[in-house]
Amino acid sequence: MLSILWNSNTGWVLLSTMTLGIAAGAIGCMAYWERQNLMSDVLSHAALPGVVIAFLLLGEKNLFVLIIGAAISALVGAFFIQWITTSSRISEDSAMGMILAVFYGMGIMLLTIANRSAGGNQSGLDSFIFGQAAAMVRSDVVTMLILAVLVLLIVFIGFKEWKIYLFDQQFAKGLGLSIQSMSTLYTVVLVTTIVIGIQAVGVILMAALLIIPAVSARYWTQSFQMMIMLSALFGGLSGVSGTLISTMGNGLPTGPFIVVVGAGFFMVSLIFGKEKGLLINYIQYKFQQKKQMEVLKQEGGRL
């Protein structure tokens, strides 16, 4: 274990997946209260065509350029969802399903074309589907860290504004906040979080890293601030633990292990969470049942 931690590349990868998990946990809470968990999944898949197109145009795997391509592709997907729902009778859920299927299918098609092209520069593009954190170099990690820290700064500097926007948009309008600007900024922050994690976790599993920590944190608190902190903690621990497990194996993918560890946190929260956890619900049910029986016995004694 110590030899793994002393490895410089492993240390950088651990730092990047931890920061990614923290950022994904924080943004996942916003997606949870915005009721756009499915949007996270759609935008994750919609980012794939942009990754491949950026590679085909550049001819090399420069993570910063690939992230720009992924962000543009995901934002185009978000634009199409809004355009379809506002200009037709198609529901938002149906529009999301269409965009997810079309963009992901286009990404796989372009990926096949890239893999059949001449040269070996396309090697490793498949890792953007399921993720491969071990393949990242220091420059990739630095890029991820800078963008993840930027996302966290946007969340925490404007925490009060985000809280008002998510829970009372009418009050936000009264304070002079632009709902359209906040919505656009939210989409940009969500897309940024998604695209910085697609190499480590992959486009398929990135949505899980956004959703699972937030849902897990919801079982422990009703405070929005505490929920963000717990979700960031669960996300960061999932990133570190999943990376360590995959590093100790031989060629094990990082993304799936991060998600599995996150699922473990969810199961613990589901059972033991103090806010509507299964165990708490069962104890409360038994307590109420016992109290009702005592009341019935007292009334029976009076009769």
Residue 2: pLDDT over 50: no
280 within a domain of the structure (yes/no): no
Residue 221: pLDDT over 60: yes
Averaged pLDDT, 206-228:
92
CA dist 150 and 161 (Å) reads 17
257 within a domain of the structure (yes/no): no
C-alpha closest to that of 133 among 231, 6, 241: 241
CATH assignment of the domain containing 172: 1.10.3470.10
246 within a domain of the structure (yes/no): no
Percent of the chain with pLDDT over 90: 39
The model carries a pTM of 0.87
The sign of the dihedral angle between the CA atoms of 146, 149, 154, 155 is positive
Distances (CA, A) of 125 to 62, 102, 300: 11, 19, 74
157 within a domain of the structure (yes/no): yes
* pLDDT for the residue numbered 62: 79
* pLDDT for the residue numbered 137: 76
C-alpha closest to that of 128 among 148, 147, 108, 105: 108
In whole numbers, what is the pLDDT of the chain averaged over residues? 85
37 within a domain of the structure (yes/no): yes
Give the residue, 233 or 250, on which the prediction is more confident: 233
Q: Which two structure tokens, joined as six digits, stand for 167?
A: 């829970």
**Domain total in the chain:** 1
- 288-291: long-range pairs with CB below 8 Å, 24+: none
* pLDDT for the residue numbered 173: 87
284 within a domain of the structure (yes/no): no
Q: Which domain holds residue 102?
A: 2-206
226 within a domain of the structure (yes/no): no
241 within a domain of the structure (yes/no): no
Contacts of 50 (CB under 8 A, 6+ apart): 66, 68, 69, 70, 71, 72, 73, 74, 76
